[in-house]
A and B are shown apart, each in its own frame.
Chain A
Amino acid sequence: MKRTLITSAAALAVALTAGTASAEGKLSIYHWFEYIPQELLDKFAAEHDVEVSMDTYDSNEALLAALKAGKLGAYDVAVPGDYMVDILNAEGMLDTIAEDELANRGNIADEWLNVPFDDGRKHSIPYQWGSTSFSVNRDAYAGDISTTDILFNPPSELAGKINMLDSQGEVMLMASLHLGIPQCSTDRDQLKALDEMLQGAKGNWASFGSDVAKDVLVSGDASVGMIWNGFSAKARAEGANIEYAYPKQGYIVWMDNVVLLKDAPNRDNAIKFMDFLLEPENIAAVSNFAQYSSGVKGDKEFLDPELAEMPESNPPADVTGAFVMTCDQATQEVYDQIWTRLRK
């Protein structure tokens, strides 16, 4: 007993000091799941002698919820999507990057420099961009998939075998595209129609989940999955016989961004990390892993050649993509209500 006690006390002492050992400093990242290769984090850790730790989330809304729930001040950087940058900024959760702080600021591609959600890139740097739509297992269904009916009014072969992303912004936009109504509509009839349509469609859905989105397609647990283009390409590479759809009603475009969080415990390292991700070679490693496109100049030579030819990255010319918009409070509260009714 005595020996157990002593061993435990020693272990406890080790445990309590373990975190503070070795490296110069730390970097605490809050990131999407399965997105950044571990090797790249290791490379940064080695180059700057920094201990890197990363937690993951699976939707923009979950990121917001966690930061609201006392996680602000625990992380240095996070990777919100476009509209969430806007919201986090409005909530006062972002720190400002000074004009000359980023050495590699010049590497930001011109089209991603002045963006509506962060004009002049005061709080963020571009990370990756891609699209959201859905993929269909071609063994299960051979018909036309270029319509959002596949998700919201599916043919009988696919009913009950659909996985939806657990992502409010994207599901609501997809549903709006399906009905052909504007985003953040304030029209009560349109909002009612949206609610009714989703309630009707829900019966045909098997599951909700973003982190499982690839696995359900690979394992065959679902025949249709709402999914991001790069994630779908990865599912295909892992053996799922799926096709990524570009529905004629439209699809979702997004850009994820690395933001500097307010009260970042290791602000200096956060800036170093942002500079690191603005190096073409490094950001290309993310693209090669996650199969999305970056917003950094000169990354082409480091990209896998297949990336450019992937069907997932080449939408037909006649369909258009749309970004998720930030609604005003009144509409957002109705959206929240629709979402709650959908999820319950």
Chain B
Amino acid sequence: MASGTFTPVRKWLLLPTWVTIGFFLLLPILLVVVYSFLTKEFRGGVDWTFSLDAYDQFMFDRGLFGDEAPSIEWTYITIFFRSIVQALIATLFCLIIGFPTAYFIATRPASSRSIWVFLITVPYWVNLLIRTVSMKFLIRDNGPMNQGLMALGLIDTPIHLINTNIAVQLGLFYSYLPFMVLPIYASVERYNFALSEAAADLYASRWTILREVLIPSVKPGIIAGCILVFVPSLGAFLAPDLLGGAKTFMIGSLIEEQFKGTAGNWPFGAACAVILLTLVLMALTLYARAQSKERAQEQRAG
């Protein structure tokens, strides 16, 4: 399979990409790690002296005047925890809606399948900012959703969603839903339905087939979908900012605030970015492990 027609020149072929990404992204990421160990200057800016202040601020509360005995600082842990929970819930909801959708589309006749895929793909290509703004407009207290429900007589007073965690959740879920559908669809499309039929021959019920045969076979697609929803949700900025009123912080807004907002603490922002990156790398490693285990099993089975 692997052929080497271009082996002699591959170094030159890969060079532009190596240089671009290595110099303009990998190096900067390392610089972020360096920055997280620098000292914050009064009124913003950084001083190039080594310090653990940023991580200390993240983990310990030393009181208003900085002279009390350190106790655990829960604030930032809470923000990270909230982001992780929000991202997990968004992933779960995307899975609940996305899996049946992907399955339904994959079992359509081949001729109409591409139309369905097209319908799911369109929102994915639409600007995320515009989609988030649309959601904000739809769900605000005097927005079309509440007006519509009130006109139908279903509710008397508007449902207050804007600036709540629920609104942020809705925004995340809505933003990344196509990311869940597409990989699962790709897996189900390749799934051999003879397996389901064999199970049915053995008198397995519909749900047993789903649970024991189908889902294990399309697991790589499901995991890929979950990763594609979870990772961007974790660092999301637009949904918490536009739908959450910038009060219930998530990791993304916390980091942004350190660089653009009043807080102006670059080393602390860099430290938060490093911690976020670590979390994401952990999630990706788990994913890679699960995949290689899968492959190993397949090889053993084969």
Contacts and interface: CB of A to CB of B under 8 A. Distances in A.
Contact of A166 (B65, B76, B262): B262
Interface in B99-128: none
A168 interface: yes
Contact of A65 (B44, B66, B249): B44
A326 B46 CA distance: 22
Given A168-B262, A344-B76, A344-B254, A207 B247 contact: yes
Interface string B21-43: 00000000000000000000011
B11 interface: no
Contacts of B247: 205-208
A221 B141 contact: yes
B259 A166 contact: no
B262 A339 contact: yes
A209 B136 CA distance: 16
Interface string B257-285: 10111111010000000000000000000
B162 interface: yes
Main secondary structure of the interface of A (DSSP, over half): helix
Contact of A61 (B162, B245, B259, B262): B262
Categorize the interface residue count of chain B.
20 to 34
A141 B254 CA distance: 33
A200 interface: no
Interface in B119-176: 140-142, 162-163
B15 interface: no
Nearest to B79: A344
Q: Which interface residue of B64, B66, B246, B249 has the most chain A CB atoms within 10 A? A: B64
A188 B79 CA distance: 29
A166 B140 contact: no
A46 B65 CA distance: 54
Contacts of A221: 140-141, 162-163
B75 interface: yes
A67 to B, nearest CB: 9
Interface of A: 59, 61-62, 64-66, 68-69, 87, 91, 163, 166-168, 188, 191-192, 195, 205-209, 219-221, 329, 332-334, 336-341, 343-344
